[in-house]
Amino acid sequence: MSEYKHDLPYGILDVANLLGVNIRRKQFNGVYVDCLFCEDTRGKLFLNTILDSFHCNYCDARGGILRMYARRRNITRYEARCEIEERLHLQTRFTDYDYTANERKKAQQHTNSTLALDTDVHDTFTQLLGMLTLSDYHRRKLYERGLNDSQIDALGYRTVPRLSDCAVITNKLLALGLTVEGVPGFYQKKDGGWTLNVGNWSAGFLVPYRKLDGYIGGFQIRLDTPLKNKDDPPKKDGAKYIWLSSASKHMGVSSGSPVHFIGNPNASTVYVTEGALKSDIAHCLSGKTFVATAGANNVGKLDALFATLAGNGVKQIIEAEDMDKLTNKHVARGAAMIRAMANANGLESRSLTWNNYKGIDDWLLAQRNKRIMAAASAA
């Protein structure tokens, strides 16, 4: 049974309205809402109004209109269709969650670019990094995470530029003959010029995501101030990372959440964790080879990478996700998927655990500090 608009006389927002979703933010192609399934309240569930599909970036729930309603109501898809049509009366569409006329017009005028070639994206991003600097504040933050100056500079972390500098920087890139169309983060303004999609909300530093071949495929921004919703409890953590993306802008594009790789591509053992910054730090502290996904359940692209690594002579994958995998079923699910994909590609796999620290980078830094303290005491 198909669930798309040409087959059903209603869209995903009609059904979301019936389920009482809480919309957090809008994009040209959909909305982010609090998840109906894992009940996370950070707006991780994306309702795609073009494809009439849903996907939670936290618990990985996904599917179409009928699946969303059926799963939430614990009924069959046939029962879901009957119930939806009875409740909607098929007379009105898009009530509380309708876009305004201006938003609809803007969405109709919106066109995305096609993601540029890997070489073009890498060249533009490399030149961009050369035009940016890292603030003393951000450098001190990286010192605290265990990195030294040479490591920081080699890894390419840079402070996010000010909004007022973005058009100038973009014009310099264009003057060098570089591509910005199809490069994540860049978009075309109403006057035809190009710029970078940043603002006060994105203050922080850029963390490059490098592919197996060393090419930069995208950036995450480590935010100075985590993003929180105004009605979140005071103790609730906000989002610490966002992608440098222009998917919601005219002629913009998303990076597509590339997988990050750091270390020796021919190493016999490769560790897998969450987040490029975490994997960079763990690599620098241990000398081991690391792969990082953008999220605990964002592991789909590991399958192709594991196949390549197996061909390179890699023998073992060690899952090193954060220790909340022992208490959080969603993180545990992602960790299990990593091991399963490794095994499916002929690689041995096992899970790494440690005590008293959340991430492997935290644990490795603590071990280093203990060695330093012990050496100082013995001197």
Percent of the chain with pLDDT over 90: 61
Instruction: Give the model's confidence band at 235: pLDDT under 50 very low, under 70 low, under 90 confident, else very high.
Output: low
Give the tens place of pLDDT for each residue, 102-132: 545 555 556 788 999 999 999 999 999 999 9
Distance separating alpha carbons of residues 293 and 168, to the nearest angstrom = 32
Lowest pLDDT segment from 96-100, 176-180, 250-254, 321-325: 96-100
CA dist., res. 204 & res. 184, Å (int): 17
- Tell me if 331 sits within 8 A of 322, measured CB to CB: yes
Kindly write down the DSSP assignment for every residue of 266-308, as one continuous string. Answer: T-SEEEEEE-HHHHHHHHHHH--EEEEESSTT--TTHHHHHHH
CA angle 290, 294, 299 (to 5 degrees): 80
* Residue 377, both tokens: 């005491």
Mean pLDDT to the nearest integer, 340-362 = 96
> At which of 109, 128, 144 does a domain end?
109
Structural domain of 18: 12-109
**CA gap 143, 63 in Å, rounded:** 43
Residues 237 and 150 reside in one and the same domain? yes
**What are the residues whose beta carbons fall under 8 Å from the beta carbon of 140, sequence distance 6 or more?**
none
Q: Shortest CA distance to 266 belongs to which of 323, 194, 212? A: 212
Q: What CATH number is associated with residue 36?
A: 3.90.580.10
Q: Is 250 within a domain?
A: no
Number of independent structural domains in the chain: 3
Instruction: Tell me if 310 is assigned to some domain.
Output: yes
In a domain, 155, yes or no: yes
Q: Return the closest-CA partner of residue 319 out of 335, 332, 304, 331.
A: 335
Specify whether 337 is located in the same domain as 361: yes
H or E element: which one contains 378?
helix 360-378
Q: Are 123 and 168 contained in the same domain? A: yes
> In the chain, pLDDT over 70 holds for what percent of residues?
90
Instruction: Mark whether 267 and 347 lie in a shared domain.
Output: yes
CA 124 to centroid of chain Cα atoms: 20
Show the tokens assigned to 276.
């490029």
Q: Is 253 inside a domain boundary? A: no
Q: Are residues 105 and 133 in the same domain?
A: no
Q: Is residue 255 part of a domain?
A: no
Q: Which helix (H) or strand (E) holds 242?
A: strand 239-243
Same domain membership, residue 371 and residue 287:
yes
* Same domain, residue pair 187 and 162: yes
pLDDT of 2 higher than 50:
no
pLDDT at 349 over 50: yes
Report the alpha-carbon distance of residue 83 to residue 75 in Å, rounded.
10
Residues 223 and 310 in one domain: no
DSSP secondary structure, 159-203, as one string: EPPPHHHHHHHHHHHHHTT---TTSTTEEE-TTS-EEE---GGG-
Q: Tell me what pLDDT residue 229 has.
A: 61
List the CATH number of the domain containing 302: 3.40.1360.10
Handedness of CA 73, 77, 83, 87 (dihedral sign): positive
Write the pLDDT tens digit of every residue in 167-225: 999 999 999 999 999 999 999 999 999 999 998 889 999 999 999 999 999 999 999 99
Whether residues 225 and 309 fall in one domain: no
Domain finish residue from 187, 216, 243: 243
**What's the pLDDT at 91?**
42
Query: In angstroms, how far is CA 135 from the centroid of its own chain?
Result: 24
Closest CA to 247 of 185, 170, 162: 185
Asked whether residue 178 falls in the same domain as residue 227, the answer is yes
Which of 289 and 100 is assigned the larger pLDDT? 289
For residue 238, which phi and psi values (nearest 5 degrees)? -95, 175
Inside any domain, residue 341: yes
Last residue of a domain, one of 109, 139, 155: 109
Q: Which residues, 6+ apart, have CB-to-CB distance to 272 below 8 Å?
A: 290, 291, 292, 293, 302, 317, 318, 319, 320, 321, 338
Query: Rounded distance, CA 297 to CA 57, Å?
Result: 7
Tell me, what's the pLDDT at 191? 93
The whole-angstrom separation of Cα 205 and Cα 158 is 5
Asked if residue 126 and residue 78 are part of one domain, the reply reads no
pLDDT digits (tens, 9 = 90+) for 283-340: 999 999 999 998 877 788 899 999 999 999 999 999 999 999 999 887 888 899 999 9
**191, 124: one domain:** yes
Pairing of strands 45-48, 30-33: antiparallel
Examine residue 3 and state whether it is found in any structural domain, yes or no: no
